[in-house]
Amino acid sequence: MGAAHPVRDPVLVGDVLAGLVDAAAFAARGGGVVRDIRCGEAIRDARPVAVGVPEPRSGGSTPSVPRAVDPVTSACRRCGGRGSWYRTVRGRWIMIEPGELATVAVPAGSRWRVTGDGTAVNLGSAVPSDTCRVSHFDVCAAGPEPVGSLALLALWRGHARRIA
């Protein structure tokens, strides 16, 4: 079925399994705070959440299926830019800029999509006519000026004007 949809990026089974292993290890640890290497900002880890597991004799119904959670909107402590916090596939939290951009204007690795359940997924490669979101950490004015994308540079300059 994946080959029938050439506009979708393939998902490697190893990436999915690595995310599941990280999530299981994280749940066993009980959460914490991780430093973001790119800008030194603390990224909040998710608190352990009970995942809806089907009851063995219920015919597959789940007692408590997690629903989409509204994102928390806040201002960056370093530049004052506003964004919304979303949980990533690996259980970390990332601040995403408001609005969408054409994927052709955003370099691979900086493209994000928020799924229906509120999870932020890094797109990597995508169809040029598609849209994506951008992490605030890529355009935070307290960090270095982005290189290679005029769209990211414009967002960065908008935040830089605010703190100047």
Residues 148-158 have pLDDT tens digits of 899 999 999 99
Residue 15 CA to residue 40 CA, distance in Å, equals: 25
If phi > 0 it is left, if psi is from -120 to 50 it is alpha, else beta; for residue 31 that is: left
55 belongs to a structural domain: no
Note down the domain range covering 102: 9-49+71-163
65 belongs to a structural domain: no
Percent of the chain with pLDDT over 70: 58
Look at residue 122 in the predicted model and tell me its pLDDT: 94
Q: What is the average pLDDT value for the chain, to the nearest integer?
A: 75
Residue 86: C-alpha distances to residues 43, 51, 61, 83 (Å): 11, 17, 27, 10
Look at residue 89 in the predicted model and tell me its pLDDT: 93
pLDDT at 141 over 90: yes
Helix (H/G/I), strand (E/B), else coil: 56 = coil
Look at residue 46 in the predicted model and tell me its pLDDT: 44
If one compares 128 and 160, the residue with the highest pLDDT of the two is 160
89 belongs to a structural domain: yes
4 belongs to a structural domain: no
Q: pLDDT tens digits for 3-25?
A: 555 565 666 665 656 555 555 55
pLDDT at 133 over 90: yes
Residue 22 CA to residue 16 CA, distance in Å, equals: 10
Question: What is the average pLDDT across 137-145?
Answer: 95
- Number of domains forming the structure of the chain: 1
136 belongs to a structural domain: yes
Q: pLDDT tens digits for 54-99?
A: 444 544 444 444 555 678 999 999 999 999 999 999 999 999 999 9
2 belongs to a structural domain: no
The pTM assigned to this predicted structure is: 0.58
130 belongs to a structural domain: yes
1 belongs to a structural domain: no
